[in-house]
Amino acid sequence: MKALIYNGPRDVSVTEVPDPKIERPTDVLVKITSTNICGSDLHMYEGRTDFESGRIFGHENLGEVVEIGNGVDKIKVGDMVAMPFNIGCGHCHNCESSLTNYCFTMQPNEGMAGAAYGFADMGPYDGGQAEYLRVPYGDFNCLRLPEDAREKENDYVMLSDIFPTGWHAVEMSGLQPGDSIVIYGGGPVGLMAALSASLKSAATIMVVDRHPDRLRLAEEIGAIAIDDSKDDPAKEVLDRTDGLGADRGCECVGYQAHEPDGEEQPGITMNRLVQSVKFTGGIGSVGVFIPQDTGSPDELGKQGQIAFDYGLHWFKGQSLGNGQAPVKRYNRQLRALIHAGKAKPSWIVSHELPLAQAPDGYKRFDAREDGCTKIILKPGA
C-alpha cells in the first residue's frame, strides 16, 4: 500500500510499504477514507520529537472495515468507523476508569502510559496516513458511525481527536452554562474548544490568535476574536470582563508557543492564562508539552520546563487540568451531536487532498499559510 513516511525534519514522502495484516485475533483492518493532518503531527514533522524516520504519521483516522480477526465480536466488515487517536486495551486499570489516554497495556515502555497511532513515544503503532490501518482491540477502538457516515465524513473524522480534545479542554476548565471562557490558540483544537464551549452554553467565548483566517472561523461561531499581534491579550480579556478575568480558560497552543515575531517562549500561553482567568477560575490545558525538547532554544525548554507564574496561579486559587484527551469518554455523545445536526466541526476544513499531495499539505500547514486551517487527506481519492 501507499503511506506517508517520515524521513527526517520537514521531509516526508508517499512510499510503497507492506500492507498491514491481522496480527492478533482482536485486530481490525480499516481502509482509510479520511485522515487529518494535525498540529501535533507538525511537532514531529519539524523534528522536535524523537519520532523515528521510516514510520507512518496519522492519528486522526476514519474508514471502512475490510477485515476482522476471529476474536472480534461487534465490528463487522463494511462498517464505517472512526478511531480515537488513543489506543486502549479496554481491560487495564486506566482503561476501566475511562482513562484510555493513559492505557498501561498498549504503551510498551516501563513506567509510561498511553499509546497512539503514528505518534512519538506512544508505542510502535503505524499511523493512518496510508491506504490501510491495523486497529488493535478493534471492538474497543473502533467507533461505529451511523448511516450518514459518508455524507458527514468530514465531521465524523473530527471525533478521532480534535473535537473530543477541544471538548476535554473545556471540560477540565470546569465551564458551567453562562460562564465566560478564553481560549488561547485558534488552531483546529482551539476552534473545537470554542465550538464545545458554545455547545455547553458559555455566555462569552474569546479566542486568542494572530492568524486572520483562524480568527474569522472563531467569529463564524459567535466567538470574540482577539488578535495578539495587535493587543496584549490578557489585558484585552480583563477589559472585557470588568477587570475580573474570564471564568475559564483553555491552553490550545503547546510548547512551541511564540511571540508574533517568531521568538519561542514555551511558557507564555500558560502565564497569560493565569493573568486572564479570574480568581478561583479553571484552566484546561491540552496543547502538547513534552518532558524533553532538545530542539528548544532555551535551557529550561530543553528539559521540558517552563518559567511558570505559579505564585500568581496559587494566589488566585485557580484549578488546572492537563494532558491528552480520553477520546472514548466523549466520542459517542459528540457523534450524536453531529448526527442530530447540532454540531458541524467540519466548518474549519480548508483542504481535502489525495494522499499523493500530503507532502505539499504538510509544507503549507507547517508554514501556517493563510487559508490553510485544516487538511483532510483522502487516501481513496
d(CA 198, CA 250): 14
Considering the complex, what minimum distance in angstroms separates the CB of residue 39 from Zn ion? 7
| Cβ 155 to Zn ion shortest distance, Å | 16
The residue nearest Zn ion at its CB is 38
- Give the residues lining the site for Zn ion (CB under 5 A): 38, 40, 60, 88-89, 92, 95, 103, 105, 161
CB of 372 to Zn ion, least distance (A): 16
- Contact present, 188 and 374 (Cβ < 8 Å): yes
Phi, psi at 314, each rounded to 5°: -65, -45
Nearest to 160, CA basis, from 183, 185, 143, 136? 143
Least distance CB 188 / Zn ion (angstroms): 8
Closest CA to 131 of 257, 234, 264, 34: 34
Q: How far is the CB of 76 from Zn ion (least distance, A)?
A: 24
Q: By C-beta, is 40 or 269 nearer to Zn ion?
A: 40
C-beta closer to Zn ion: residue 193 or 202 = 193
Q: What angle do CA 62, 284, 108 make, to 5 degrees?
A: 55
**Helical H segments across 97-176, by residue range:** 138-141, 153-156, 162-173
Query: Nearest approach, Cβ of 288 to Zn ion (angstroms)?
Result: 9
Nearer to Zn ion among residue 161 and residue 251 (C-beta) = 161
Residue number with CB closer to Zn ion (233 or 289): 289
Strands 11-16 and 28-37: unpaired
**Phi, psi angle pair for 249, to nearest 5°:** -145, 155
CA distance 30 to 142: 10
Nearer to Zn ion, 224 or 377 (CB): 377
Q: Which is nearer to Zn ion, 34 or 40 (CB)?
A: 40
